[in-house]
Amino acid sequence: MAVELYKRGYTKVYALTGGWNEWAKAKYPTEPKPVTSAKNCVLCHTAMTPGIVSDWKLSKHSQKGVDCAVCHGDKHFSPETVALAEIPTPERCAYCHGPQVKQFKDGKHAKAWDAMKAMPTFHMQPMAMIDGMKGCGGCHKIGIKTEAEIKELRKQGGQFGVASCDSCHTRHIFSKTEALQPQACRTCHMGIDHPQWEMYSSSKHGVRNELKQLGVLPGSAAAPTCQSCHMTNGNHAVRTAWGFVAVRLPMPDDPQWAADRTKILKGLGALDPAGKPTARFGALRDLDVFRTTQEAWQKERDRMFANCRQCHSPNFARGELEKGDMMIREADRLLAEAVEIVAGLYRDRILAKPGHYAYAYPDLLAFHDAPTSIEQKLYLMFLEHRMRTFQGTFHANPDYALWYGWSKMVSDLTEIRKMAADLRKEKKGKRR
């Protein structure tokens, strides 16, 4: 039916619904433009994409008269103009949700795309895995992209990965109620390097929330969600005190911890083997994956402490957060030794410097593209097991902190020591 209407010439019918147009003219008088009638969009898309239409009809957008063209533009009006349909970016959402988009841009989620692109071996991954959103890109798509990046994505067939807000407010219902549930975070916050959903859902916090959702606990029961801790009062600037890699400056007064942290910064490529800042230091700082000032760290710690205080005493809240700090220190001791063992293999030329490495030094950010078995073990120690050690502690999940985190790090270090000894023995045998 819809296609037949298009064929008969009903291709550019504009909205006469005064409600939306009057509101838009009043709010954005500098951008008056006609919009394609939702009636005509629905007519076609009921056949083509019925689920999308169903969700839109359930949305507040539909109830408030926010038409399809408001988000998708008015250039797509026939099967032949599908490629002209716009996929809304945060800038488009900001027309109505300005404060939320501004907050989002101040948080770590906005930097997710750049962070993925900054990985040193990013270019080695299949397009479908990254830009096609079937691997890292599937979650990192939440990050803001430049116009040039969006253009390139569309050229490569990844045109549906340019949005950001729909990562949590899934299209086309865009429900605030949905985004407020901890399950909204689950699709990304799981797996090897950030299994926060798994930690949270099996913690006391998560179990109480599940029982609350099931009606076992009353609606007034205290049951923290991801959003109540990390998006207090709806603030979209999601940030943490320690940042993703749990490394911070300035160096601590504890000389051992300072030395360990220096080795880890070298492993991250933020410092060169001599301990001097590199170009990557600036990139990691700009990507907000670690804290470079006491003030930046303290601001986020104070915010989280205030959140914990909603349910817990000051002593309990402060003590639990400090335990997380101490577990980072203990984990750093293990990781630093492992980094130094592998660095020693490079120093003694037992391992040859790969062509794409900046220095003859292990690169923790090489991830699965690390060139040797011992470095593969090192990257898992850093990205999987160290993450679980401190994230499990902060998320009140003892099992993750111990068995999936700390215990695995101890095992990793034992294996790395053995692998290094074997490599040295093998090298010595060849010299004979």
Asked if the structure places residue 62 within a domain, the reply is yes
Asked if the structure places residue 191 within a domain, the reply is no
Quickly count helices (H) and strands (E) in the chain: 23, 0
| Same domain membership, residue 297 and residue 273 | yes
Asked if the structure places residue 376 within a domain, the reply is yes
Residue numbers of the domain that contains 24: 1-85
| Total domains in the fold of the chain | 3
pLDDT for 153 equals 83
Q: Using the structure block, give the residue that is written with the tokens 């008269």.
A: 65
pLDDT for 14 equals 31
The series of mean pLDDT values per 10 residues for the chain, 432 residues long, is 38 35 46 56 90 94 91 88 88 94 95 90 79 84 91 77 89 94 94 93 96 95 95 94 94 97 98 96 92 95 96 97 98 98 98 94 94 97 97 97 98 98 90 66
| Same domain membership, residue 7 and residue 113 | no
CA-wise closest residue to 328 among 387, 284, 241, 288 = 387
Residue 401 sits at the vertex; the CA angle it makes with 397 and 405, to the nearest 5 degrees, is 140
Q: For residue 421, give the CATH number of its domain.
A: 1.20.850.10
Asked if the structure places residue 312 within a domain, the reply is yes
Tell which of 85, 113, 129 closes a domain: 85
CA-wise closest residue to 223 among 199, 207, 234 = 207
- Counted residue by residue, the chain has a size of 432
Asked if the structure places residue 175 within a domain, the reply is yes
pLDDT for 60 equals 94
| Same domain membership, residue 417 and residue 278 | yes
Q: For the whole model, what pTM was predicted? A: 0.86
pLDDT for 117 equals 87
**Single-letter amino acid, residue 256:** Q
Q: What are phi and psi of 277, to 5 degrees?
A: -60, 145
pLDDT for 258 equals 98
Tell which of 36, 58, 85 closes a domain: 85
**Count of alpha carbons within 13 angstroms of residue 405, beta-carbon side:** 27
- Other C-beta atoms closer than 10 Å to the C-beta of 178 total 13
| Same domain membership, residue 331 and residue 250 | yes
| Same domain membership, residue 103 and residue 63 | no
